[in-house]
Amino acid sequence: MPAEDPVFLRACRREPVSHTPVWFMRQAGRSLPEYLRVREGIPMLESCANPDLIIEITLQPVRRYAIDAAIFFSDIVVPLKAIGIDLDIKPGVGPVIADPIRDKDAVSRLRPLASDDVPYVTEAVKGLVAELGDIPLIGFAGAPFTLASYLIEGGPSKNHDRTKALMYGEPDIWQSLMSALTEITIGFLRTQVAAGARAVQLFDSWVGAVAPEDYTRYVMPYSEQIFAAMADVPRIHFGVGTGELLGLMGEAGADVVGVDWRVPLDDAARRVGPGKALQGNLDPSILLAPWEVVEPRARQVLAQGRVAEGHIFNLGHGVLPNTNPDQLARLADLVHEVSAR
């Protein structure tokens, strides 16, 4: 009989598990002093193109925490940079695009991404898989809506108003842009899976800005194509403020729906319906409070998660930079202890 798959993969597939698996979005990064040390003087995008650094940073949280999965260290704009878009990641700001994409000509200059465009991704994933042993590596990409928002707005945005203006006002350009981003996203995810990533997470971080009807019309067809192209591995779909979209995000083809902290997991399970696992959803800011506050909240997330057919414990969004790593270490241990069966 083949050895049993790791619990993280089993939970994604809604199979019985010995304990609830746990990992943390942004588990690698500025909350870790060892991350700040290795990143000193090296810009973010340079780090993302350096296989040795990618491997080291991805492994840092695995050394500290009893986590059930690692996530590839990169950024959602890395594939955009790789096809020649002039952009940078500014510390404390996020991705900034030199020439925002707002017309037909700019869209026509986008091209698909091939593995050859990101050799450092292939090399780093292969190196990581060798180091990680039984711990699965999650590959990831930004979803077309979230990438479109950065490209159209030119940087981070609160209301995504230019993005929505183009979506409503220039549906043909929107369609071309979303199709181009769909191909790029599939290229980036397929590269990671070809090199050994065992699951993928599609981050549609900012899609909570659109109403369900518009999601169905302007966003979902593209996410569907991406999930259809990734059917050989478990697929996680996450966004922020997506309470009203959870059902549709599952329907788009995800195996696991990521939930932020605004919707309790038992409620989320009802919204998503049968046949899906859930991931989430402790408010990351709770970790800034004393452990006595964190523990009951984490137990509550686990209890609510039992309603779902499969549960992967995570935060409702990424680890905040000022989080004490010791809190995350205790949290990972608590999840394992409380959920052991």
| Binding-site annotation, residues | 26-30, 75, 150, 205, 317
Q: How far is CA 224 from the centre of its chain?
A: 16
Residue positions forming the annotated binding site for substrate: 26-30, 75, 150, 205, 317
Q: Which of 19, 51, 94, 196 binds ligand CP3 (CB under 6 A)?
A: 94
Please give the residue whose beta carbon sits closest to ligand CP3 in the complex: 205
Distances (CA, A) of 201 to 101, 204, 234, 258: 25, 9, 9, 9
65 is catalytic: no
75 is catalytic: yes
CB of 104 to ligand CP3, least distance (A): 26
Distance CA 163, CA 308 (A): 34
Q: Which is nearer to ligand CP3, 140 or 218 (CB)?
A: 140
Site residue total, ligand CP3 (CB under 6 A):
22
Distance CA 75, CA 170 (A): 28
Of residues 61 through 90, those in contact with ligand CP3 by CB under 6 A are: 71, 73, 75-76, 89
Token pair, residue 246, equals 């959870």
Q: Which of 136, 187, 208, 318 binds ligand CP3 (CB under 6 A)?
A: 318
What region, left, alpha or beta, does residue 196 occupy, with left being phi > 0 and alpha being psi -120 to 50 degrees? left
User: Counting contacts by CB under 6 A, is residue 185 touching ligand CP3?
Assistant: no
30 is catalytic: yes
Of residues 104 through 123, those in contact with ligand CP3 by CB under 6 A are: none
Q: Which is nearer to ligand CP3, 250 or 318 (CB)?
A: 318
User: Counting contacts by CB under 6 A, is residue 27 touching ligand CP3?
Assistant: yes
Phi/psi at 324 (5° precision) = -80, 120
Distance CA 294, CA 329 (A): 12
Residues whose CB falls within 8 Å of the CB of residue 206, separated by 6 or more in sequence, listed in order: 145, 146, 149, 157, 160, 239, 240
Q: Which of 13, 15, 19, 44 binds ligand CP3 (CB under 6 A)?
A: 44
86 is catalytic: no
120 is catalytic: no
Residues whose CB falls within 8 Å of the CB of residue 328, separated by 6 or more in sequence, listed in order: 24, 27, 31, 61, 64, 65, 287, 319
Residues that bind ligand CP3 (CB under 6 A): 25-30, 39, 44, 71, 73, 75-76, 89, 91-95, 140, 203, 205, 318
Active-site residues: which are they? 26, 30, 39, 75, 150
